[in-house]
Structure 1
Amino acid sequence: MTVLAGGFLLLTVLMPPAALLIFIGVMPTILAWIAEAPERRGIATAVGALNLAGVGLAVYFFTLGGAETARLPRYLSQPSVWVGMYGSAAIGWGLFLTIPPVIQAADRFRRRQRVAELRRFRRKLTDEWGHEISGPRHVSPETSDTVL
């Protein structure tokens, strides 16, 4: 964090318009970092990574034409600059909101498949060896779940 702050301070001294463009562009990342709660960690990382990619591209094209203060308002009046900076942050939000439920659904499916496979295996063993080997059913005192 200190390195980022030092780099931004150096950029502010060397190229103030580019530093202002970066500050305006990373606003979604700053807000995601503020809104991040312990149970929903990763928002700032997902949003920040893609947002910085969009902002980096905007700063690159801004400095190609000459990083002059007088040019910044005209550059920021182009909708493509805003779409590039904030659109990439929106993609980060979208990834953060959609990937965890997809992973949870896939994990739930995998666990259900494993339980069905184990039940088939148990049924096969019972058919082969008889019901005596399955043992009595009882309730576990710790979890109060039926243990087979």
Structure 2
Amino acid sequence: MAKKETPKQTNQAASVKSSGKAGVNNWALIVIGVIIFVVFFPTMVVFCVGMFPTFIAFFIERSKKGMVWISVGCMNLVGVTPYIMDLWLISNTPQQALDTVFSVFPWLVWYSTAGLGWLIYLGTPPVVGIFLTLAAASRASTLKASQRRLVEKWGQEVSGNQEGAGPGGMMRGE
């Protein structure tokens, strides 16, 4: 008679199989990454050096949501893209890539755009907070005006502010 597998044995076998696939997938990604780096060497040099502020933002981020590096990365990519386009359109050589990397102006653009990403990340919450506060104040004034119209139309009983009224405007003892 065949021996039945327990759920514990099945889970162990599944974890061994999945970790084997994950290892193969990781190696495949590494091999593909190396091939891309070799084939597109000048582009990757400019890209990796130019996106350095994004890599730093990714590694220093402590929150689990991961919004700093996305904000910095998007703006940093905006700064790196013109230099990659120049590389592609003028001459895609390692010498041109090194000339770009060793020039001061690209570094100024890369770090300025990354700094703009930081400003967007740090400046957005206060701006949204101000907007929400103004929207809430506007809504409160609209509701107060509506309440005044109801009191004018229906009388003081609907306001809930009469003497002896409990929560919700109900008379005590009702």
TM-score of the aligned structures, taking structure 1 as reference length: 0.74
Runs of 4+ in structure 1 off by over 4 angstroms are: 4-8
- Structure 1 position 124, deviation (Å): 2.2
- Structure 1 position 40, deviation (Å): 6.4
CA RMSD across the alignment = 2.9
8 Å Cα contact 1:58/1:85 also seen in 2: no
1:138 corresponding residue in structure 2: 167
**Bigger RCO (CA 8 Å, 6+ sep):** 1
Q: Mind listing any 5+ residue stretches in structure 2 that lack a counterpart?
A: 1-25, 169-174
The structure whose Rg is larger is: 2
The residue identity in structure 1 corresponding to 2:40 is M
2:119 corresponding residue in structure 1: 94
Q: Aligned pair in 2 of structure 1 residues 34, 100: CA closer, same or farther (>3 Å)?
A: same
Q: Using the alignment, how far apart are the partners of 1:83 and 1:19 within structure 2?
A: 19
Report percent identity of matched pairs: 24
Task: Tell me how many residue pairs correspond in the alignment.
Answer: 138
2:60 corresponding residue in structure 1: 35
- Structure 1 position 37, deviation (Å): 3.7
1:58 to 72, 78, 83: 83
Q: Mind listing any 5+ residue stretches in structure 1 that lack a counterpart?
A: 140-148
- Structure 1 position 97, deviation (Å): 1.8
Deviation sequence 1:52-90 (CA, Å, 0-9, x none): 122122122234443333444433232221122222212
Q: Using the alignment, how far apart are the partners of 1:50 and 1:7 within structure 2?
A: 27
Matched, 1:69 2:98: no
Deviation sequence 1:70-124 (CA, Å, 0-9, x none): 4444332322211222222122112222222112211110111111111121122
Q: Using the alignment, how far apart are the partners of 2:47 and 2:154 within structure 1?
A: 71
2:132 corresponding residue in structure 1: 107
